[in-house]
Structure 1
Amino acid sequence: MSIRPLFAALAVLALAGCAADPAPNEQMRLTEQALEQAKAVGAMPEDVAELKLAEDKLLRARAEMSDQSFKDARMQAEQAELDARLAEARVLTLKSREQLNVLNTRITRLRKQLGDAQ
């Protein structure tokens, strides 16, 4: 009869061990990669608010990792990744609009030249 309480205690300890959040190392790597990508396309923290937010959240995630608050670290890192991806998208959208404006200007110029030639 004394074996059953021992197994019950071991089961509870095993479940408690599974409930602990592991260190979000992969998420941290993905977040850092997203920040690098945003910067690679030209996002700057002083120009794109989302990039500044992403950097701040990554700093908080690193602090949470140091405190071994892995759940909070994961949440901060996930939010930082999304902010960095949004910053990248905003920069790429702006660049696309600028290219579209240049192309529209060229088309207008060509139409005028063709109209003048007739």
Structure 2
Amino acid sequence: MSIRPLFVVATFAALVGCASDPAPIEQLRLTDRAVEQAKAVGATDDVAEMALAQSKLVEAHADMANSAFKQARMQAEQAELDARLAEAKVLTEKSQEQLSQVDIRVTRLRKQVRDAQ
């Protein structure tokens, strides 16, 4: 009969162990990389999403230090998404500027062709 209580205790311990969140080390690495990548393409705190990403990343690291792993993971995931959105916004803006420059050149060329005829 002593095996049954031991089995119950072992099962309970296993369930509790599964319920606790592991440290989100890899997610924090991904988020750090996403923030650095966004900075590399020119995202600054002037881009609202970048400011949010950096703020949430700081919170994620603080939660990690306090062993609040679930909260740290959520903050890191949100920060990663914000950083990726900031990067996309900056790249879109740069593409639109380049497109505008191409449009200006095409307009000049058309004018030159009309003037030459």
TM-score (norm 2): 0.98
Percent identity of the aligned residues? 67
Partner-residue secondary structure (3-state), 2:52: helix
- Give how far 1:87 is off: 0.3
Q: Following TM superposition, by how much is the alpha carbon of 1:115 offset from its aligned partner in structure 2, in angstroms?
A: 0.3
Residue of structure 2 in register with 1:107 after alignment: 106
Q: Structure 1: how far apart are the matches of 2:98 and 2:109?
A: 17
Give the Å deviation of 1:64: 0.5
**What amino acid is the match of 1:6?**
L
- Cα RMSD of the aligned pairs, angstroms, is 0.5
What is residue 31 of structure 1 aligned with on the other side?
31
TM-score (norm 1): 0.98
| Length, aligned pairs only | 117
Query: 1:65: how far off?
Result: 0.4
After TM superposition, which residue ranges in structure 1, 4 or more long, deviate above 2 angstroms? none
Structure 2: stretches of 5+ with no match in the other structure: none
CA deviations 1:36-73 (Å, max 9, x no partner) are: 0000001111x201100000000100110011000000
Q: How far apart are the structure 2 equivalents of 1:24 and 1:66?
A: 11
Q: Structure 1 residue 17 and structure 2 residue 4: aligned?
A: no
